[in-house]
Structure 1
Amino acid sequence: MTGAALAAVAVGVILEDVRVFVAGGGVLALLILFAVLGGKRRPAGGEPPVRRLALARIEDLRATGGESADVPVKFRLTVAPEREDARSAYRVKTTQHINLVDLPAYRPRGIAVVEYRPDKPWDVRIVTRPTPEWSRRAEEAEIDSAPDSTLVSNPDVDEGSWCLLALLAFLAGAALVVLLFRGPLFTEVSDGDTPPGSPSKSSSTSRTFTTSTTVSGPSSSLLAFGRMRATAMELEGRVETGFVTEVTIEDRRMTVSGDSTRPPTGTFHLQTLPYELFPALVREARTTLGVRTPETWRIDITPGTGDGVGPRVRVTVTGPEGTAHLDADATARITDRRAVGERG
């Protein structure tokens, strides 16, 4: 749940989705609140668990370090329960903080006084300040080592396993949220959504591609001398090839498309186009085709039909009177005209 909440917050920020962000943040806040309240809640009243005293043989001990006066020590013990417990001696491992001053009193094959729970024999704690009677019994006692097969341990899932399960649950929750929002997260922005001045990304990098760029600023029309060719070279560098299947040029936008499966006759190279002559074609279309107040213009360049035929250039203008166009060859020589009202 925590992983899902954190992932929802991150997804909300990335997608700028207030609802997802608020939902994830709200769940995260509730989880923190429950954790705080759960930590402050005291266990319900009841009888404390029964603990009994016994003697234990220290099989081995190892201090694991520490910077304070009490250092953690790992013990391997053979616990010898009292006769009334009707239980034979058994092995157990336990870790307990021992003061550095008292540490020399614990040595291998020595006898210590321990406290254990009959219902949970692995819950063993060394009594560092036993009563005089138990101290005397520890000094006089001799306990044989129990075999390793008698080792008891907590049958519940250990702490390391709990940490692993918590990590897996955290990752699963995060993966679930990301999976639910995989569309908005990983879908590329379409060319129509590209803000002015920002290049759009190619729609595919394997077999086909479409990429465009928009120029901005004062006097930034692509009709300015040299602007078309410079923009075409920029797009060629972006798609890493000069062979394309279509080029569209508008006043402030240029788009190129390509398909790697097309034969050479179905493509043309960006650098072979006479960009410097295109402004004259646009001016011709805007002034001679019956569109007295042209509002928009567009140049569409596609491969020519037939072997050895260069690309075909079509200039389209639109205004209140309607739409008209003219066609030209790869050298910008006009080959056909269609004024407003003419079909073709």
Structure 2
Amino acid sequence: MIRLARGFLTGGVVGVTPSAFVTGIIIGNVPLLLTGAGLPFAYGFLLFLAGIPRRAREAAVVPRTALAKIESLRAGGAETGDVSLRFDLTIAPHGEPPFRAEARLDVNLVDLPSYRPGDVLVVAYPPDRPWQARIVKPDAEWARRAAGATVVSAPESTVVRKPAGAGAGFLVLLGFLLGVAAIVLPFRAELFAPSADASEVSESAEPTSVTSSSGSATVTVGPGQSMADAGELRRAVVGLAQHADVAKVLTAVVEEHRLSVVFAPTAVTAPSFDLRSLPVDRIPALVTKARTTLDVGSPQTWQVTVVPFAGEVTLRIVATGPGGSGSLGG
């Protein structure tokens, strides 16, 4: 029962952790983001504390020593001078029926010839957990027994393995799904709100649209207009300020027909700037300079990125054409 409950809780933590972290980033919810980042550490610590009594009981069990015959062995990867070998053993405890079990051992390349199918080794295992058998270095008495011993192979039906709790996999999956639902459902309105929940309005004679949400906004001008035209970018900024709070902007990107803005989350302290302080008069000149000095061929597309740095607003334009891309700072 404890194993099933632990599986359910583990599945819940696995579901909550990425859901809370990603949802916190998307909607700018810092407590939710911290929950996603800290929950696995807290849960791991609680599992460690809860496992102390069990580990103490297991450590108190005196291991049993027995002879074992190598039925087969397979080598794993060798990243160092040692090779990881997986042994299929027949273990023959004194006075009890033999049984099959697996064991692993890292063996130096020089010692590999010492392990062959049919050889007899010495193993130790907890009587209540025989699937945890391990190959040990014998003392003189057990080495003498192994040298002259013959172990009869046990049938494969006697293989011992760690028991798996019935329904554990289903409970892990159930916990995962409920964990995801516990995060996503309460915040579904913010996560899945349409991006155009503010409005689309006309700002000039040519079609101009403003689309804003809680985290970003876009101003688009018509095909006959350009953000590099005199006064056009200023009108875009003014129009956006009528529909969204532009006092805290993380970054702004100006393109031929579009101004895109990402807002700073309310509860997060990050470098930001007031979009209304954007040096709009410098951008057309920067575009003209890029078009005339950057040798990228024609036709060209351009993009100006605006970010706050050390208390100031910095501009960088990237122009792209048939000849590649180039950039300028302004």
TM-score by structure 2 length? 0.50
Task: For residues 163-182 of structure 1, give each alpha carbon's deviation from its aligned partner in whole angstroms, at most 9, with x where no partner exists.
Answer: x9768755653354223322
Name 1:329's counterpart in structure 2: none
Given candidates 57, 77, 87, the residue that maps to 1:65 is 77
Cα distance 1:219–1:2, how it changes in 2: closer, same or farther (>3 A)? closer
Given candidates 93, 98, 101, the residue that maps to 2:110 is 101
Is 1:178 the equivalent of 2:184? yes
Name 1:263's counterpart in structure 2: none
Partner SS for 2:153: coil
Q: Give structure 2 stretches of 5+ with no counterpart.
A: 1-12, 213-218, 223-231, 237-256, 258-330
Question: Aligned partner of 1:152: which letter?
Answer: V
Given candidates 139, 142, 148, the residue that maps to 1:131 is 139
Is 1:155 the equivalent of 2:167? no
In 2, the alpha carbon distance for the partners of 1:219 and 1:102 equals 80
In 2, the alpha carbon distance for the partners of 1:63 and 1:219 equals 71
**Displacement of 1:115:** 0.9
Is 1:141 the equivalent of 2:153? no
Is 1:8 the equivalent of 2:17? no
Indicate the structure (1 or 2) with the bigger Cα radius of gyration: 1
In 2, the alpha carbon distance for the partners of 1:38 and 1:219 equals 59
Cα distance 1:114–1:193, how it changes in 2: closer, same or farther (>3 A)? same
The answer on whether the counterparts of 2:65 and 2:123 sit within 8 Å (CA) in structure 1 is yes
TM-score by structure 1 length? 0.48
Cα distance 1:31–1:192, how it changes in 2: closer, same or farther (>3 A)? closer
**Displacement of 1:191:** 5.8
Question: Aligned partner of 2:156: which letter?
Answer: D
Cα distance 1:57–1:42, how it changes in 2: closer, same or farther (>3 A)? same
Is 1:117 the equivalent of 2:126? yes
Name 2:91's counterpart in structure 1: 79
Partner SS for 1:28: helix
**Displacement of 1:78:** 0.6
In 2, the alpha carbon distance for the partners of 1:217 and 1:125 equals 74
Partner SS for 1:108: coil
Partner SS for 1:32: helix
Task: For residues 14-50 of structure 1, give each alpha carbon's deviation from its aligned partner in whole angstroms, at most 9, with x where no partner exists.
Answer: 223x3xx313414632542453576599935566212
Cα distance 1:100–1:40, how it changes in 2: closer, same or farther (>3 A)? farther
The answer on whether the counterparts of 2:21 and 2:36 sit within 8 Å (CA) in structure 1 is no
The answer on whether the counterparts of 1:6 and 1:25 sit within 8 Å (CA) in structure 2 is no
Task: For residues 234-288 of structure 1, give each alpha carbon's deviation from its aligned partner in whole angstroms, at most 9, with x where no partner exists.
Answer: 9xxxxxxxxxxxxxxxxxxxxxxxxxxxxxxxxxxxxxxxxxxxxxxxxxxxxxx
**Displacement of 1:90:** 0.8
Matched ranges for 1:225-236 at <5 A: none
Cα distance 1:130–1:193, how it changes in 2: closer, same or farther (>3 A)? same
In 2, the alpha carbon distance for the partners of 1:218 and 1:30 equals 46
Cα distance 1:182–1:30, how it changes in 2: closer, same or farther (>3 A)? closer
Partner SS for 1:102: helix
Name 2:284's counterpart in structure 1: none
**Displacement of 1:80:** 0.5
Count of residue correspondences: 201
In 1, the alpha carbon distance for the partners of 2:120 and 2:234 equals 92
Matched ranges for 1:213-292 at <5 A: none
Name 1:29's counterpart in structure 2: 38
Task: For residues 73-128 of structure 1, give each alpha carbon's deviation from its aligned partner in whole angstroms, at most 9, with x where no partner exists.
Answer: 11011111012xxx20111122222233332211101111111222222221111x
**Displacement of 1:56:** 0.8
Cα distance 1:219–1:182, how it changes in 2: closer, same or farther (>3 A)? closer
The answer on whether the counterparts of 1:7 and 1:24 sit within 8 Å (CA) in structure 2 is no
The answer on whether the counterparts of 1:6 and 1:24 sit within 8 Å (CA) in structure 2 is no
Partner SS for 2:110: coil
Considering Cα pairs closer than 8 Å and 6+ residues apart, tell me whether 1 or 2 has the greater RCO: 2
**Displacement of 1:200:** 4.7
Cα distance 1:183–1:78, how it changes in 2: closer, same or farther (>3 A)? same
**Displacement of 1:71:** 2.1
**Aligned-pair identity (%):** 37
Cα distance 1:42–1:179, how it changes in 2: closer, same or farther (>3 A)? closer
